[in-house]
Amino acid sequence: MDQAGLNPVFDLPIVTRNQGKLREISEILKLFRIRAFSAYHLTNFDEVNENGDTYAENALLKARQGYVHTGGLCAGEDSGLEVDELDGAPGLFSARFGEKFAFVGDNNTLLLSLLEGVPPERRSARFRAAVALAWEGGEKLFEGVCEGWIRETPRGEGGFGYDPVFIFPLFEKTFAELDVSVKNTYSHRAVAFRSAGEFILKNLLKGSVRP
């Protein structure tokens, strides 16, 4: 216990090389007194081959690989943007969208060019995140979704990835324009990692299964 009578801070390795994700995860998990850091800083291992058919499968692949290499509880997260007009693309290929089209330029430029001339009512989209935990003798999945739509031009300097083109309807601003604390309250990642944080505190720190 610390002076405030709270549980000690708990360290949770996250199998990610994406600094944008990691910054957000760290903020979200602070609420649970969990300190997130990249599992790749603990021990060097090869990039996880994300060949699952779903976000959940890919998140599990990451968490399992983390557990195998660190020997303790690890989390993996897989996420992406689904645009209805593009039948759910970029989806699982969100990080490598340009490569799929052999497009030279950033993913947002490609996305906006594919949506050129599409009216606002047909620009609906959502972010999805799956979070997996893997520890000795157990695995658990959590999911989060955040609905919105795609702007015609990027706006805002914050966030990462598709944030400058994704409008969060509650504030009619892109995630890149909003304060990061807003994104970390409502995002797909916030929903999934809050559930994961609660699960860790309730089941893995006090119960019979210890990380």
Residue 45 CB, nearest approach to ligand ITT (Å): 12
Q: Which residues in this chain contact ligand ITT in the complex, by CB under 6 A?
A: 16-18, 21, 50, 77-81, 94-95, 127, 159-163, 175, 187, 189
Q: What is the dihedral of CA 170, 173, 179, 180, to 10 degrees?
A: 80
Minimum CB distance to ligand ITT, residue 183 (Å): 7
Q: Which of 53, 78, 84, 87 is catalytic?
A: 78
| Least CB distance to ligand ITT at residue 141 (A) | 14
* Nearer to ligand ITT among residue 110 and residue 205 (C-beta): 110
The H or E element that residue 194 is part of is: helix 188-199
The verdict on whether 84 is a catalytic residue reads no
Q: Which of 74, 78, 77 is nearest to 64 (CA)?
A: 74
Q: Which residue is nearest to ligand ITT (CB)?
A: 161
Nearer to ligand ITT, 78 or 177 (CB): 78
Nearer of residues 48 and 204 to ligand ITT, judged by Cβ: 48
52 or 72: whose CB is closer to ligand ITT? 52
Burial (CB count within 10 angstroms: exposed 0-12, middle 13-18, buried 19+), residue 63: buried
Shortest separation between residue 120's beta carbon and ligand ITT, angstroms: 20
- Beta strand 166-168 with 173-174 is antiparallel
Asked if residues 135 and 123 have their Cβ atoms less than 8 Å apart, the reply is no
3-state secondary structure (DSSP) of residue 128: strand
**Quick check: 135 and 73 in contact, CB under 8 A?**
yes
Contacts of 4 (CB under 8 A, 6+ apart): none
Residues with catalytic roles: 78
